[in-house]
Amino acid sequence: MTKILPFKAVRPAPAYAGLVASRSYENYSEAELRAQLEYNPYSFLHIINPGYKFQHEIGGEKRFGMVKNRYLEFKEEHIFIQDESPSYYIYKIQTREGSCCGIIAAASVEDYEQNVIKKHEDTIAHREELFKEYLKVVGFNTEPVLLTYPDDPIINQLLDERMHTRPEYEFATANKEIHSLWLIDDPQNIQKIQEQFAQMEKIYIADGHHRSSSSWLLAKESKNSNPNHTGKEAYNFFMSYLISESNLKIFEFSRLIKDLNGHTKEEFLIKLDEWFRIENRGYEVYKPSKKHHFNMYLDGEFYSLYLRKTNYEFTDSLSELDSYILYEKILKPVLGIRDLRYDNRIEYVHGRNDLIELKTRVDSGEFEVGFGMLPAGIEEIKQIADENLTMPPKSTYIEPKLRSGLTIYEF
C-alpha cells in the first residue's frame, strides 16, 4: 500500500511563474547564470544563490540561512503564495521530441523506510547529511524526487480530463519547451487518485536517491525531537513527481577515460579480447543495437565489443547490467578505475549528447578512450531494485528534468 498525498504547495503567483522557474543550478554556464541573476529579479536562482545580492560567494550553514531569507523575501513580496487547500499538481513538459506529464505530490518517508518505495542506487553518507542539514535550516524543498509507477488507466483518465481545461500556468522556455501546470483540488478526484496509489504494492525511485534519503533522515530526527509526534507532520513526507513508466525516458551515460593505465594500445586490446569479441569499425560511428554490446573509441577509430557470453556467468539481475559488465571487466581490472564517483580519470557524457561529443573529447587529447552502451530498460531497473541490489554510479540518465520553483513543499 503506497501513501501518496496532496499538499498545500507554495507557488509563484501566475504572473511570475515563467520568470521564477529555473533549470537546475548545475545546468547553467557561468555566463548564463550571471545573466539570469543580473536581469531577472524573479528567478528562483536568487534564492539558491543568495550571495549574489552582496556580490559575495557564501558557503556552508551561513548560505543555508541566507537561502531561507531570500525565500521569505519572495513570500513577503507575494511572488510566492501558498494554496489554501491540499492539491495534487499535474505538471506537463512539451519538448520537440514529445511530451510527458505526471503528478507532484507528497510521498511517505515510512514507505521509503519500509522499501515500498524501491531504490536502485547507493547513496553517500556525507551528501545525505549535508542535504538533511540544508532542509532542516531552510524548511522547504523545491526539487521533487522522481518516482515511477505502472501505467494506471484510472489515473491516466483523470489526468487527461483535467488537462483539457485551462492550466494554472503555461509558459515557454528558451530551449523551446512548454511547461504547464494544473491543480486537482476537488475532494472527489483527490480521493480517487489517493486510492489508486494505495492499491500499488510498490513504486520506484527513478531519480533523487539522495533527496529521498535526506528527507528520511530529517524525519527521523524531527520525530525524535517532537514529543507530540503524530505521523501526520509535514516532515513525514517528501515532495515527489510521480510519472508512469511509459512516460519515463531513460538514457545511458558514456564513459571517458584519461589514460590506458600504463598499457599500450596493443596490450589494452589483447586484455579486452579475453571477455569481448572485438571488431575495428574504423571511421564508422558505431552505436550498439543490443544488450551486452559496447562501442569504444580509441586512437581515432571506433570499435564494437561483444561480450563473450560463454566466458561470462550471469548470476543475478545486476550481473546482466551493461554498466556493471563494463566496470567489472574493463574499468576496474584493466584501467584501474575502482571508484566511479571520485576517480578523476573518468568522466561521463549522458546519452542526450551524441557520440560525436565522445569522439571530439578523445580526439582533443583530453581523454584516451571512450565507451558507450545501450540504456538500461525500466524492467532492468525494477528487477535490480526488487532484488535489493544497487547499480553502479551513472548507470542511467533519466528524464524528465523539472524546473525548480514551481511547487515548493514546506515542512
CB 256 within 8 Å of CB 370: yes
Is residue 218 located within the same domain as residue 148?
A: yes
Across the chain, which distance is largest between two alpha carbons, in Å? 69
Is residue 325 located within the same domain as residue 208?
A: no
Is residue 269 located within the same domain as residue 375?
A: yes
Q: Which residues are CB-neighbours of 21 under 8 A, at least 6 positions away?
A: 12, 44, 171, 173, 179, 403, 404, 405, 406
CB 112 within 8 Å of CB 118: no
Is residue 80 located within the same domain as residue 135?
A: yes
C-alpha cell at 106: 507528497
Is residue 40 located within the same domain as residue 93?
A: yes
Is residue 93 located within the same domain as residue 150?
A: yes
Please tell me the predicted confidence (pLDDT) of residue 362: 97
Please tell me the predicted confidence (pLDDT) of residue 318: 97
Evaluated on CA atoms 141, 144, 149, 151, the torsion sign reads positive
For 85-103, how does the pLDDT look when each residue is reduced to its tens digit (9 = 90+)? 999 999 999 998 889 999 9
- What is the C-alpha separation between 38 and 85, in angstroms, rounded? 35
Give residue 119's pLDDT band: very low, low, confident or very high (50, 70, 90).
Answer: very high
Is residue 259 located within the same domain as residue 130?
A: no
For 303-329, how does the pLDDT look when each residue is reduced to its tens digit (9 = 90+)? 999 999 998 999 999 999 999 999 999
Picking from 123, 116, 118, 132, the residue whose alpha carbon sits closest to that of residue 216 is: 132
Is residue 18 located within the same domain as residue 56?
A: yes
Please tell me the predicted confidence (pLDDT) of residue 51: 78
Is residue 198 located within the same domain as residue 301?
A: no
Give residue 232's pLDDT band: very low, low, confident or very high (50, 70, 90).
Answer: very high
Tally of domains within the chain: 2
- What is the C-alpha separation between 255 and 373, in angstroms, rounded? 9
For 220-230, how does the pLDDT look when each residue is reduced to its tens digit (9 = 90+)? 999 999 999 99
- What is the C-alpha separation between 381 and 251, in angstroms, rounded? 12
Please tell me the predicted confidence (pLDDT) of residue 54: 64
Is residue 140 located within the same domain as residue 289?
A: no
Can you tell me the mean pLDDT for 125-141? 94
Is residue 15 located within the same domain as residue 134?
A: yes
Task: Compute the CA torsion angle 390, 336, 297, 398 (nearest 10 deg).
Answer: 20
**Is this model's pTM higher than 0.85 or not?**
yes
For 269-304, how does the pLDDT look when each residue is reduced to its tens digit (9 = 90+)? 999 999 999 999 999 899 999 999 999 999 999 999
CATH number of the structural domain spanning residue 390? 3.30.1760
Domain that holds residue 386: 253-395
CB 325 within 8 Å of CB 334: no
Is residue 153 located within the same domain as residue 264?
A: no
